[in-house]
Structure 1
Amino acid sequence: MHIVHNSDTPATTYAILDTGTKQVTLLADMLFDFLLPRLNHMYQAKKNLKIESKGAKYKIGDFVVKIGSVTMSGHYKGILVEVEYLPCVTPALCWSLIREFMQSFMGSCVQPGPPPYIQNRFHDIHTPQDTVQQYVEKFNEFREGPGYPAAQTAAPNS
């Protein structure tokens, strides 16, 4: 189970339950954090494993760009870039515009296609839960690897 907090939705706690074959997202208010210690007999928490991305948020026209430094248990792991295009909530309708915008400041490290998570939901409405799911995927990549110079995630309006 992954517990995620997002500064864009400060009153919400996300719990991502990973069954191995699928992930289920639970949304709860901040009181969920107080319930977790009572559930410790049902799951084993990994001690001292806290991954976070902290950084700056910029609004550039219809785009929001968040650039965060990823740390795991206090150790630097890499950079995470999130881009949102506010007028659109469906990736299929705005992916080429998001990609072109990202290439304007990130250059050739931007992949031509959307990330796998977005590809699987290309014609669906993007929600804050989708953003959190992408963060969990990227954090798992950081956790499993030695660190990356840059990672990216892109989101229509979330």
Structure 2
Amino acid sequence: MTGSTWVLWWKDAQGTASLGLLQERLLRGLRANLKGRWSMDTKLFHSPHNFVKLQNIKVASSTGLTPAGMRGTASDQSMYLVVRGQGASRRQFYVMASNRVVVEAEPEMESIVLRLKNLWAPRQTARIEGYTYEGDDWVIRTGNMMVGTSYKGLIIEINYLPCSNPEQTRGLMRELLMMILPPDAQVDANNGVDYRRAGLDPCRMTDRHTAYQYVHMFTQSSLL
């Protein structure tokens, strides 16, 4: 999906009640269409090695990166797997802890990583479950987030379709957010994402940018 995406964390959300409040405001206030359920999974892997080099792994050709492009550094002792979609639409993104590498991988990559227990050991998991809503030129996804067995608030993902430049769309997204959130909601806006750090174009977003935003949120807020 093209366009520009903004990922936010509603820290003091109240589970099902808050999810229902957003649904009411989206359906009645913004005349959105409920498109169905939405979920996303993130897994944190830790390596005991100071330097890790993943070789002979086929990554998606659309990333423009070769397996050598997944080399780690001395600080890359953690790696995040972001899984979006289900079935045929399932997509996987890997982000090193230093946030300097983000790639989209083939589906079999996860099973390969899970077998490399001497290199990457699973540590924590986060799951977001909720709903997808569509308007004339935007898509909003909302979901409650569980880290392990602990409830950690609610995630809002706003996708504005007509423009892929995040700097030009943030104002419009803020207006949408103000229409659906309570005025006293404690929201982490997930600002300060430096796409250049991972070699991503800051003026033209892709799905890799969205995965990168999630990892930035998890690391900066110490959620995962």
TM-score (norm 2): 0.54
Match of 2:107 in 1: 30
Report whether the alignment pairs 1:95 with 2:176.
Answer: no
SS of residue in 1 equivalent to 2:115: helix
**Aligned residue for 2:192?**
116
Unaligned ranges ≥5, structure 1: 145-158
Once the two structures are superposed, what CA deviation does each residue of 1:93-144 show, in whole Å capped at 9, x if it has no partner?
A: 2221111121122254588x87211797895101101111111222332626
Q: Bigger shift: 3-12 or 129-138?
A: 3-12
Is there any run of 5+ residues in structure 2 with no aligned partner, and where? Answer: 1-78
SS of the residue aligned with 1:68?
strand
- TM-aligned CA distance change 1:107 to 1:12, over 3 Å: same
1:71 aligns with 2:71: no
1:70 and 1:87 mapped to 2: Cα distance? 28
Identity of aligned residues (%): 21
C-alpha distance in structure 1 between counterparts of 2:194 and 2:169, whole Å: 12
Q: Relative CO higher for 1 or 2, CA cutoff 8 Å, sep ≥ 6? A: 2
Q: 1:99 to 1:119 in 2, by over 3 A?
A: farther
Residue equivalent to 1:83 = 158
Give the number of the structure whose alpha-carbon radius of gyration is greater.
Answer: 2
Question: Which one of 76, 80, 85 corresponds to residue 7 of structure 1?
Answer: 85
Q: Distance in 2 between matches of 1:14 and 1:72?
A: 19
Contact residue 190 and residue 217 of structure 2 kept, 8 A: no
CA deviation profile, 1:76-105 (whole Å, cap 9, x unmatched): 110011111111101122221111121122
Q: Which has the higher strand share?
A: 1
Q: What residue is the counterpart of 1:150 in the other structure?
A: none
- The alpha carbon displacement at 1:43 in A equals 2.8
Matched, 1:52 2:127: yes
Residues 122 and 25 of structure 1: is their aligned pair in 2 closer, same or farther, counting only changes over 3 Å? closer
Q: Match of 1:37, SS?
A: helix
Q: Which whole-Å deviations, capped at 9, do the CAs of 1:2-61 have from their partners, x for residues lacking one?
A: 111012883421111123xx4311211111011113322123331xx2101110110022
Would you identify which runs of 4 or more consecutive aligned residues in structure 1 move more than 6 Å?
Answer: 118-122
Q: 1:84 to 1:132 in 2, by over 3 A?
A: same
Q: What's the TM-score, normalizing by structure 1?
A: 0.74
User: How far apart are the structure 1 equivalents of 2:144 and 2:175?
Assistant: 23
Aligned residues of 1:90 and 1:122 also touching (Cα < 8 A) = no
RMSD: 2.8
User: Secondary structure in 1 aligned to 2:141?
Assistant: strand
CA drift at 1:68: 0.8
Query: Which of 4-13 and 54-63 deviates more?
Result: 4-13
Query: How many residues are paired up?
Result: 139
